[in-house]
Amino acid sequence: MRYKLALLLSPLCLLAQPAMHLNLAEAQRQSIQNNPQFAAARLNAAAAYQTPLQYRAAYLPALYGAVTSVGADGGARLAAGALNNPNVYNRAASGLIASQMITDFGRTGNLVGMARLQAQAQDQVTETTRANLLLGTSQAYFAVLRAQSVVKVADQTVGARQLVVDQISALASSQLRSTFDVSLAKVNLADAKLLQVQAYADVKSAAAQLATLIGLPNETVFTLDEETMPPVILDPVDVLIRQAIQSRPELKNLRLQQNADERFAKAEHALYFPTLGLVGSAGFAPLGDSQISSRYGAIGLNVNIPILNGGLFKARSTEAELKAQAAAQNVSDQEHQVIRDVRVAYLNATTAFDKMALTQQLLEQAKLALDLAQTRYDNGLGTIVELSQAQLNLTSAQIADVSAKYDYQALRVALQYEAGNLH
């Protein structure tokens, strides 16, 4: 069944903007396709995969060129600021400098591993964004349907109460009903019109939220399909909790971050070890003092051994280890929150399912009570107060009945989200 939601203020505006037809699956697809939050998350994930390549570059040879021109006093030496006194000669030269790391005892390898884990964690951020968009879109979709159903109830209520006002006014003009009855009937009509105005406003608000989530904020008119009512929940809550612990992207993200922090702690500990590398340089010096050869070339093995640095490496290593331990605690904390959220969502969904049968019974009783109150009033056995209360009860029961249906559907989607099954 399709409901057309007319959300504009005039028929002319409605004709100018045709309704957009959607079912829930199409709304979810539009959300993933158009919403900038998801696009940003995917771009951040793609950017994160460039970080391992940056660390990995340390394994590969580095080559760069150099051009140097020096003018110096004859026989000058650098005397201050160093232990050696190298000669400085007039010269103009160009050449290439190459370097190759041989080993840093695992530091670069751990940094690359850390960056890969962080990139995978960013993938889980993308999945979290996707799940949030699907949840928000689904809830907004059912909110629109719920608001439209309330509009139908409000319209019917206004029509029914207007009829009562007309009937009682006609009877009052014949001195068969008092002006008090007319006044109270008009009060009830005014209350129904207030409900009607609020209902239409709620439809516009819900549609605006849906339009924003599907990435089309200028859309305000929709034709939405009804979704098949999901069955009663059969899986025990413990099964859903296990699924959530394994599947929730937030938990996967934190576990990957914990592993990345552990790899970084190993990388920081490797600062204590030496680094070993080759450095080579070759080129030409066509101009210069006679002491400088026109060609030059050299290669060397460089070993850098840390001895004292004021406790810098120890502090960095300890900091990384403590952060890795904190990351493990974050995983445990998130698991506890997921367990709580699944239990609450399960309780809400099962309660909403039970409410559907109860609101149906409430509606049937409210209809029966209104029929009896109307009959008593028509026969002069009841008062306008009894009839008014019966009308109010029916309206409340109708709204509760239509709300229970869409609340259950929205809460079932929320349970899927909490269990990590919303894809």
Write the single-letter amino acid at 417: Y
Looking at 167-237, which runs of residues are DSSP E strands?
222-225
CB distance 404 to 359 below 8 Å: yes
- Answer for the pair 294, 286: CB distance below 8 angstroms, yes or no: yes
- Gyration radius from the chain CA atoms: 38
Could you tell me the pLDDT band of residue 55, with boundaries at 50, 70 and 90?
very high
Q: Which residues of 380-397 are buried (b: 16+ CB within 10 A; e: fewer)?
A: eebebebbbebbbbbbeb
Please determine, for residue 126, whether its predicted confidence score (pLDDT) is greater than 50: yes
pLDDT of residue 20: 86
- 250-287 burial by CB neighbour count: b if 16+ within 10 A, else e? bbbbbbbbbbbbbbbbbbbbbbebebebeeeeebebee
Closest CA to 219 of 231, 207, 228: 207
CA distance 248 to 140: 22
Please, are residues 251 and 334 in contact by the beta-carbon 8 Å criterion?
A: yes
Q: Quote the CA–CA distance of 325 and 411 in Å, as a whole number.
A: 36
How far apart, in whole angstroms, are the C-alpha atoms of residue 58 and residue 270? 15
Asked whether the predicted pLDDT for residue 287 surpasses 70, the reply is yes
Q: What is the pLDDT of residue 3?
A: 40
Q: Give the burial class of 198: count Cβ atoms within 10 A of its Cβ; 0-12 exposed, 13-18 middle, 19 or more buried.
A: middle
Mean pLDDT of 33-42: 95
Of the listed ranges 175-179, 254-258, 270-274, 407-411, the least confidently predicted one is 175-179
Place 232 in a pLDDT band, splitting at 50, 70 and 90. Answer: confident
Mean pLDDT over 16-45 rounds to 90
- Amino acid letter, 101: M
pLDDT at 12 over 60: no
- The model's pTM is 0.86
Which CATH code fits 2-56+104-146+204-274+307-418? Answer: 1.20.1600.10
Q: What is the pLDDT of residues 130-163, one digit of tens each?
A: 999 999 999 999 999 999 999 999 999 999 889 9
Mean pLDDT of 190-197: 93
